[in-house]
């Protein structure tokens, strides 16, 4: 089975059902399937071959979903890019995966147009450009393609098999450069089936998703609903909470995926103004939800099941806490999801028992194939497993388990910062800071934050005589980094604390920052 068959099967059995709601638009499974077929033919006509990469650089929208399934139908590999990504990171990913096509909108196209010169890109598809416009060389508009009667709306012949790549998911790594997590059709299908299993999703579910589709947790909401023939309501963000809550009520949403930033914002509001009687479950992932949030949500919505979950891009999801365990083990991220094995190992790779902290290792069909063209990083994450030739995922996350096998997150092994549920590599932010004239030394750390989980903080030692302001630093960062990576706090110092070996003493910086909070 291939991932696009989630859509195709639902289009066959429930073609007239509303699959996707975005803004004022409501599309059925059959409508989406036909459009994706035509777009897939157009991708092939533009010269896209099996396994070629298609970058999708769009806000949460109908077009983003069409682009995903059209790419899969064309036998190609989609690469979702965060819509706030700036030209540098975009160019890095474009060249790293040697993208053959880009799907974006007119405004974003302007901002990355120059990156495409001399690149591997054969065609650019504009999702919002309207029809009949002279779009220039290699540039097509969705509207023109969808109106093109010479392109078939029947599915193109299958070109890939289930162990081929479905997507590359770029994620921040401790070395600074984003890594492309290779997810096959089989990986994604295995993960989706396991999650559907424990969430007990059915075709009656309506999931309201505000998380970006560039974030695996957001993207899988679409996969899961399309698999069961449910409905996804796509929103761009949680920026205006009352509008989202109104939407949850109006669409009678049954599922609402959250990150702790959302629960922090929600719990500042008087939620009794909204009727959540149809809501069946809330999920939390990205970062641990504070116990206080869980307790308050449970009190406000006693009928709603709350699932604490943990995962990482490299295998999508690892654990979930069954809602009936939340009182007994509120601090736990739960047990392994169905069809997965995991264990905790010490530094020598030996399995450890309950109560002992070690690295979590995950085994299952959902584990990635590796990092795109990064063999060393791949060998570090994927190491020999129990079966000959098998490789299992070393998560880089430290855990301990209780006697019944429920897992408790302890810390990450590297210095990655989790903010708003997304990973930020301090190194990536520091590299951008060092490009700012006047910065002699820069160190980036995470500091506790009630809303963000961790907030990104930049500590800077200016060059002698340089007059740097916080505003200049933030402006520079906002021009070069994805929005969630831009520091919340900037501190200037005369000198940086160092360790005995001369490295920046980040631990000392973090401890000082904590004392200030």
Partner 1 sequence: MKDILRQFINDNFLFGLQGRTFSDDDSLLEKRIIDSTGVLELIAFLDATFSVKVQDDELLPENLDSINRLVHYIEKKSKAAA
CB of 266 to partner 1, least distance (A): 10
- Give Cβ neighbours of residue 250 (< 8 Å, ≥ 6 apart): none
Nearest distance in Å: CB 84, partner 1: 6
Determine, following the binding rule CB under 8 A, whether residue 517 of this chain makes contact with partner 1: no
Task: Give the per-residue contact string, 247-286, with partner 1 (x = CB under 8 A; - = no).
Answer: --------------xx--x---xx--x-------------
Q: Work out which of 15, 176, 241, 330 binds partner 1, going by CB under 8 A.
A: 241
Q: How far is the CB of 297 from partner 1 (least distance, A)?
A: 16
What string of H, E and C letters represents the secondary structure of 396-461? EEEEEECCCCCEEEEEECCCCEEECCEEECHHHHHHHHHCCCCEEEEEEEEEEECCCEEEEEEEEE
Cα distance between residue 505 and residue 298, in whole Å: 41
Query: Minimal CA–CA distance to 318: which of 182, 216, 222, 416?
Result: 216
Binding window for partner 1 (CB under 8 A); candidates: 8-16, 237-245, 301-309, 374-382: 237-245
In whole angstroms, how close is the CB of 271 to partner 1 at the nearest point? 8
Distances (CA, A) of 215 to 169, 319, 357: 8, 18, 28
d(CA 286, CA 76) in angstroms, rounded, equals: 28
User: Which segment (41-49, 70-78, 162-170, 477-485) binds partner 1 by CB under 8 A?
Assistant: 477-485
Least Å from the CB of residue 471 to partner 1: 5
Nearest approach, Cβ of residue 175 and partner 1 (Å): 27
Are residues 166 and 72 in contact, defined by beta-carbon separation less than 8 angstroms?
Answer: yes
Residues near partner 1 (CB under 8 A), total: 26
Q: How far is the CB of 92 from partner 1 (least distance, A)?
A: 20
Q: Specify the residue, 52 or 59, whose C-beta has the smaller distance to partner 1.
A: 59
Single residue of 237, 277, 339, 499 touching partner 1 by CB under 8 A: 237
The nearer residue to partner 1, 301 or 474, going by C-beta atoms, is 474
Nearest to 344 by CA among 332, 356, 335, 334: 356
**Residues 6 or more apart from 109 whose CB is under 8 A from it?**
124, 126, 139
Residue number with CB closer to partner 1 (152 or 277) = 277
The residues pairing with 101 across neighbouring beta strands, listed in sequence order, are 54, 123
Q: For partner 1, which is the closer residue by CB, 190 or 429? A: 429
Q: Nearer to partner 1 by C-beta: 460 or 496?
A: 460
346 binds partner 1 (CB under 8 A): no
Positions 59 through 98 that interact with partner 1 (CB under 8 A): 59, 83-84
Contacts 24+ apart (CB under 8 A), 387-394: 390/363, 391/367, 392/361, 392/362, 392/363, 392/367, 393/314, 393/315, 393/361, 393/362, 393/363, 393/367, 393/368, 394/345, 394/359, 394/361
Task: Write out the binding residues for partner 1, residues 480-499 only, by CB under 8 A.
Answer: 483
Segment 426-455, which members bind partner 1 (CB under 8 A)? 451-452
The backbone torsions φ and ψ at residue 29, rounded to the nearest 5 degrees and listed phi first, read -60, -45
Segment interacting with partner 1 (CB under 8 A) among 214-222, 338-346, 383-391, 472-480: 472-480
Q: Is 478 in the site for partner 1 (CB under 8 A)?
A: yes
Run of H or E residues at 509:
helix 506-516
Output the smallest distance, CB 245 to partner 1, in A.
8
Least separation in angstroms between residue 259's CB and partner 1 is 10
Give the residue, chosen from 239, 277, 339, 498, that forms a contact with partner 1 under the rule CB under 8 A.
Answer: 239
- Min separation Cβ 52 and partner 1, Å: 29
Nearest one of 414, 400, 392, 405 to 358, comparing CA atoms = 400
Q: Which two tokens stand for residue 235?
A: 């929103």
243 binds partner 1 (CB under 8 A): yes
For partner 1, which is the closer residue by CB, 111 or 120? 111
Cβ within 8 Å of residue 455, ≥6 positions away? 419, 446, 447, 448, 449, 487, 488, 489
Q: Which two tokens stand for residue 313?
A: 């891009």
Nearer to partner 1, 32 or 262 (CB): 262
- Number of CB atoms found within 10 A of residue 466's CB: 13
Q: In the structure encoding, which two tokens stand for residue 265, read together? A: 């914002």
Q: At its nearest, how many Å lie between partner 1 and the CB of residue 83?
A: 7
In contact, 463 and 434? CB cutoff 8 Å: no
CB of 182 to partner 1, least distance (A): 29
Question: How far is residue 469's CA from residue 478's CA, in Å, rounded to a whole number?
Answer: 14
Q: Which is nearer to partner 1, 137 or 471 (CB)?
A: 471
Residues 1-60 that bind partner 1 (CB under 8 A): 59
Q: Please, which residues have CB within 8 angstroms of residue 327's CB and are 6 or more apart in sequence?
A: none
If the CB atoms of residues 241 and 338 are measured against partner 1, the closer one turns out to be 241
Interface segment toward partner 1; rule CB under 8 A; list 69-77, 144-152, 176-184, 474-482: 474-482
Give the residue with the Cβ less far from partner 1, 415 or 483.
Answer: 483
Identify the residue whose tokens are 């009949």. 132
Q: Pick from 204, 240, 351, 384: which binds partner 1 (CB under 8 A)?
A: 240
- Least Å distance between CB 85 and partner 1? 11
Give the nearer residue to partner 1 in terms of CB position, either 274 or 408: 274
List, in sequence order, every beta strand (DSSP E) within 161-226.
Answer: 165-171, 179-184, 206-209
Name the site residues for partner 1 (rule: CB under 8 A): 59, 83-84, 236-243, 246, 261-262, 265, 269-270, 273, 451-452, 471, 474-475, 478-479, 483
């Amino acid at each position: 089975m291939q991932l696009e068959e989630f859509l195709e099967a639902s289009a066959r059995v429930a073609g007239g059902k509303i699959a996707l709601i975005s803004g004022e638009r409501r599309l059925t499974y059959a409508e989406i399937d036909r459009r994706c077929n035509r777009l897939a033919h157009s991708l092939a006509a533009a010269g896209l071959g099996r396994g070629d990469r298609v970058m999708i650089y769009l806000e949460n929208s109908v077009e983003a979903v069409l682009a995903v399934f059209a790419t899969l139908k064309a036998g190609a590999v989609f690469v979702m890019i965060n819509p706030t990504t700036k030209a540098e990171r975009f160019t890095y990913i474009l060249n790293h995966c040697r993208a053959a096509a880009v799907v974006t909108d007119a405004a974003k196209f302007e901002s990355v147009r120059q990156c495409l010169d001399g690149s591997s890109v054969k065609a650019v598809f504009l999702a919002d450009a309207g029809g009949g416009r002279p779009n220039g060389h290699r540039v097509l508009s969705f509207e023109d393609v969808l109106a093109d009667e010479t392109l078939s709306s029947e599915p193109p012949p299958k070109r890939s098999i289930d162990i081929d790549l479905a997507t590359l998911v770029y994620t921040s790594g401790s070395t600074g450069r984003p890594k492309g997590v290779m997810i096959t059709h089989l990986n994604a299908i295995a993960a989706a089936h396991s999650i559907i299993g424990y969430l007990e999703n059915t075709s009656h579910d309506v999931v309201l998703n505000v998380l970006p589709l560039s974030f695996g947790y957001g993207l899988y909401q679409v996969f899961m609903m399309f698999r069961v023939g449910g409905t996804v309501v796509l929103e761009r963000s949680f920026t205006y909470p009352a509008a989202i809550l109104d939407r949850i009520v109006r669409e009678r949403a049954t599922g609402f995926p959250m990150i702790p930033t959302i629960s922090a914002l929600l719990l500042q509001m008087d939620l009794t103004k909204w009727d959540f009687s149809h809501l069946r479950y809330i999920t939390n992932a990205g970062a641990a939800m504070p116990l206080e949030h869980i307790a308050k949500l449970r009190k406000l919505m006693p009928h709603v099941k709350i699932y604490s979950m943990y995962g990482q891009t490299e295998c999508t999801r690892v654990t979930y806490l069954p809602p009936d365990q939340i009182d007994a083990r509120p601090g736990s991220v739960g047990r392994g999801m169905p069809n997965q094995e995991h264990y905790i190992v010490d530094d020598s790779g030996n399995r450890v028992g309950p109560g002992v902290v070690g690295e979590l290792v995950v085994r299952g069909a959902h584990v990635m194939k590796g990092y795109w063209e990064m063999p060393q990083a791949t060998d570090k994450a994927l190491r020999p497993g129990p079966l000959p030739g098998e490789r299992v995922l070393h998560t880089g996350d430290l855990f301990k388990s209780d006697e019944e096998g429920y897992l408790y997150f302890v810390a990450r092994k590297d210095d990655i910062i989790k903010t708003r549920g997304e990973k930020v590599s301090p190194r990536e932010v520091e590299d951008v800071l060092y490009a700012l004239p006047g910065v002699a030394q820069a160190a980036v750390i995470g500091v506790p934050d009630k809303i963000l989980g961790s907030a990104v903080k930049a500590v800077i030692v200016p060059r002698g005589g340089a007059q740097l302001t916080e505003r200049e630093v933030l402006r520079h960062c906002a021009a070069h980094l994805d929005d969630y990576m831009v520091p919340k706090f900037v501190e200037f110092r005369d000198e940086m604390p160092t360790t005995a070996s001369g490295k920046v003493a980040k631990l000392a910086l973090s401890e000082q920052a904590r004392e200030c909070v």
